[in-house]
Amino acid sequence: MDPVATATDPNFVAQINYILMLSGMNFKSWKESMEIVLGCMDLDLSFREERPTATAENPNEKIEKWDRSNRMCLMMIKRSIPEMIKSPIGESESAKKFLETVEQFFAKNDKAETSSTLSKLISVVYKGKGNISSWNGQ
């Protein structure tokens, strides 16, 4: 019996429901839950290995297993990303490359958010005896 959960398996649905929806603030925990679920479901082959090429040593079975892993990963990743985040990211044939693109998207946004927070901290107005009483420049 194949250890990979099928779409009709109750465990499959439970695993999918464990994946967080991606928001602007939870990328690290979203990615971690995605990797855990895909790993537990034995669907992460496309993250761990490059797609095999057809040779005498690589039967079609290996290629089909990788293709299934890649397809399932893409579907599960895209299911957990709201359209407003998914649209600017674009499409990809590879789940691994798609996840890397999502990561780059949030790395840029994280840097912008950090810069904004630092500029707010720099412009804090000090009033009174050791209490920061207001944010300036919001």
| Residue 126 exposed, middle or buried by CB count within 10 Å (0-12, 13-18, 19+) | exposed
- In this structure, are residues 85 and 101 in contact, taking their beta carbons and an 8 Å threshold? no
pTM of the shown model: 0.66
How far, in Å, CA of 27 to CA of 72, rounded? 20
Q: pLDDT tens across 51-76, in order?
A: 998 887 777 888 999 999 999 999 99
133 φ, ψ to 5°?
Answer: -105, -15
Task: Report the percentage of the chain scoring pLDDT > 90.
Answer: 27
Residue extents of the structural domains in the chain: 10-134
